[in-house]
Amino acid sequence: MTVVIDTAHCPLCGEANRCAMEVERETGQAQPPCWCMAADFSLAPLDTLPPTLRGQACICARCAAGLPPAQD
């Protein structure tokens, strides 16, 4: 079974990750430096990601800060 990774969304919460590097890869248009280049990921619950999802898509700023997902 093949797992399809949506690189535009956070694999932890499903929100848009707003990754400038992914936008540039998809569009070919130069982007300003991504927010993640200056982010502190020490509070991110990365250990909750299954091994198959690690390193496949960026997490969002909320998850990087260790905050709970937004509730609708």
For residue 72, what pLDDT is reported?
62
Query: Across residues 38-42, what is the average pLDDT?
Result: 91
pLDDT at 1 over 90: no
Q: Does 7 reside within a domain? A: no
- What is the count of structural domains for the chain? 1
Q: Which domain holds residue 37?
A: 20-64
Q: What is the pLDDT averaged over residues 60-70?
A: 89
Per-residue CA distances from 33 to 12, 24, 49, 58, 61 (Å): 23, 10, 25, 14, 14
When pLDDT is cut at 50, 70 and 90, the band that residue 54 belongs to is: confident
CA-based end-to-end distance of the chain: 32
Is 14 inside a domain boundary? no
Is 57 inside any structural domain? yes
Q: Would you say residue 15 lies in a domain?
A: no
Residue 35 lies in a domain: yes
Residue 69 counted as domain residue: no
The model's pTM: 0.79
> Does residue 1 fall inside a structural domain?
no
The conformational region for residue 18 under phi > 0 = left, psi -120 to 50 = alpha, else beta, is left
